[in-house]
Amino acid sequence: MQQTPEKLEIIRPDDFHVHFRDSSMLAAVVPETARHFARAIVMPNLVPPVVSVAQALDYRQRIVSHCDEGFEPLMTLYLTETTTVDELQKAADVDEIKAVKLYPAGATTNSASGVTDVKRVMPLLESMARSGLTLCVHGEVTDPDVDIFDREAVFIDRILEPVRRELPELRIVMEHITTSDGVDFVRSGSANLAATVTPHHLILNRNDLLVGGIRPHYYCLPIVKREKHRVALRKAVTSGDCRFFLGTDSAPHTTETKEAACGCAGVFNASNTMACLAQVFEEEGALQNLEAFCSLNGADFYRLPHNTERLVLQKATKPVSFPSTLAVAGDSEQTVTVFDPGMDIYWTVVDHT
Ligand code: DOR
Ligand code: ZN
């Protein structure tokens, strides 16, 4: 990494958690990710979900038709209670597939086909522990008696800690952690346990979501938490600890479906993630660790080579602005609202090679 006061050059980053959807939305959002990122772990929560190797490879083809060769989608399978050990073995043998995603049934967008009881998939997780295929986990319980702000901490106690104890060889990424409980859990684990963190959970707390009016574009799952958790996340990612790496959880929904009486969960941040992160790391006095978080730690966990291309960010003297919406291809009416960090951002991506 090279750094001058106004310019920062890092190895081209990867996004280890992104939602691309399909059809016209796919066409609109893939170029936004491919512009700055070399690779991305693509979530499988389509309708219907991506449950087989064949479906994942088909989906991969649809993704690459919207970007040039410089971008590599890394595919995932959606774990269901009817997934077979055979299919998981096939996935482990296919280079294009890097992980399997566990959604607790009902936890989030398109999770209806997810897992109702982790005991039902233990033989599958055992096979993954043997093959080395990574398990990506949406870490929230769905028990209606558990408060939405406690669902991550309860998931760790009830589900993740027992799984980790029973299958220490299983490689687990706790996706989009949002609490100090998540940070502590990952820190207490072995090298087989890591976590992704989103830019928005480093920037927002629950006051930003709810005080002075509800901000539907800040509604995502897991929901943003109280300030002490945001502080803990910032400390974890800026520390350089190799178990924390970037997963944007960029999750496009149309502006219309976000600004609704029952709005969808998801923040679309693919367009300005790198600028926001440079700002966060600068605020924390840790620009020297931005490259580890965005370009090294995740690649190392997934045993991927480091990217050879580079990304250059420049610091402006005045706050920069970003387009506030992205048009959905083929539909002049529909837009996706781009994440507004609600703070001044001075950084822009000026170049990548
Ligand atoms: O906010 C979210 N949106 N969280 C998720 O877990 C899923 C995602 C989506 O697919 O919209
Ligand atoms: Zn997600």
> What's the CA angle centered on 260, arms 259 and 261, to 5 degrees?
140
**pLDDT band per the 50, 70, 90 thresholds, residue 323:** very high
Which ligand 1 atom is at minimum distance from the Cα of 110?
10
- CB within 8 Å of 118: residues ≥ 6 apart: 102, 125, 159, 163
Instruction: Give the separation between CA 132 and CA 98, rounded to whole angstroms.
Output: 10
Q: How high is the pLDDT of residue 3? A: 58
Q: Is the pLDDT of residue 247 over 80?
A: yes
Q: Is residue 341 part of a domain?
A: no
Q: Which residues line ligand 1 (CB under 6 A)?
A: 19, 45, 108-109, 138, 220-221, 249, 251, 265-266
Instruction: Give the separation between CA 26 and CA 66, rounded to whole angstroms.
Output: 8
Q: pLDDT digits over 276-307, tens only? A: 999 999 999 999 999 999 999 999 999 999 99
Number of folded domains in the chain?
1
Q: Is the pLDDT of residue 62 over 90?
A: yes
Instruction: Give the separation between CA 295 and CA 293, rounded to whole angstroms.
Output: 6
- The string of DSSP letters for 225-268 reads --HHHHHHHHHHHHTT-TTEEE---B----HHHHSSTTPPP-BB
Q: What does pLDDT average to over the chain?
A: 96
Which ligand 1 atom is at minimum distance from the Cα of 267?
1
Q: pLDDT digits over 158-196, tens only? A: 999 999 999 999 999 999 999 999 999 999 999 999 999
Q: Is residue 331 part of a domain?
A: no
Please list the residues that pair with 72 across neighbouring strands.
39
Question: Above pLDDT 70, what percent of the chain?
Answer: 97
**pLDDT band per the 50, 70, 90 thresholds, residue 259:** very high
Instruction: Give the separation between CA 155 and CA 259, rounded to whole angstroms.
Output: 29
Q: How high is the pLDDT of residue 333? A: 84
- For 221, the token pair is 């799952």
Q: Is the pLDDT of residue 336 over 90?
A: yes
Nearest CA, atom 2, ligand 1: 266
3-state helix, strand, coil in the chain (%, to 5): 35, 20, 40
Domain span holding position 131: 13-309
Q: Which residue has the higher pLDDT, 160 or 69?
A: 160
- Please say whether the beta carbons of 101 and 138 come within 8 A: yes
Instruction: Give the separation between CA 268 and CA 252, rounded to whole angstroms.
Output: 5
Give the Cβ contact number of residue 158 at 10 Å.
13
Q: Is the pLDDT of residue 352 over 80?
A: no
Strand 7-11 relative to strand 2-3: parallel, antiparallel, unpaired? antiparallel
Please list the residues that pair with 38 across neighbouring strands.
none
- Please say whether the beta carbons of 106 and 49 come within 8 A: no
Nearest CA, atom 10, ligand 1: 109
Q: Is residue 317 part of a domain?
A: no
CA of 252 to the centre of ligand 1 (A): 9
Q: Is residue 323 part of a domain?
A: no
Nearest CA, atom 7, ligand 1: 109
**pLDDT band per the 50, 70, 90 thresholds, residue 68:** confident
Q: Which ligand is nearest to the CA of 267?
A: 1
Which ligand 1 atom is at minimum distance from the Cα of 264?
11
Q: pLDDT digits over 186-195, tens only? A: 999 999 999 9
HSE value, Cβ hemisphere, 13 Å, CA-based, for 70: 14
Q: Which of 19, 176, 250 to mutate to test the pocket of ligand 1 (most atoms within 8 A of CB)?
A: 19
Q: Is residue 178 part of a domain?
A: yes
CA of 2 to the centre of ligand 2 (A): 31
CA of 185 to the centre of ligand 2 (A): 20
Please list the residues that pair with 21 across neighbouring strands.
none
Q: Is the pLDDT of residue 39 over 90?
A: yes
Query: Shortest CA distance to 345 belongs to which of 322, 311, 327, 312?
Result: 322
Place of tokens 């016209």: 24
| pTM > 0.95 | yes
Q: Report residue 28 CA to chain centroid gap.
A: 18
Q: Is residue 191 part of a domain?
A: yes
- Mean pLDDT on 1-11: 79
Instruction: Give the separation between CA 331 and CA 28, rounded to whole angstroms.
Output: 10
Which ligand 1 atom is at minimum distance from the Cα of 222?
4
Q: Is residue 102 part of a domain?
A: yes
Burial of 257 (0-12, 13-18, 19+ CB in 10 A): middle
Q: pLDDT digits over 131-156, tens only? A: 999 999 999 999 999 999 999 999 99
The catalytic residue among 15, 249, 300, 344 is 249
Q: In the annotation, is 58 catalytic?
A: no
CA of 138 to the centre of ligand 2 (A): 8
Nearest CA, atom 4, ligand 1: 221
CA of 279 to the centre of ligand 2 (A): 23
- Mean pLDDT on 83-88: 98
Instruction: Give the separation between CA 167 and CA 120, rounded to whole angstroms.
Output: 15
Q: How high is the pLDDT of residue 351? A: 79
CATH of the domain at 166: 3.20.20.140
Q: Which ligand is nearest to the CA of 221?
A: 1
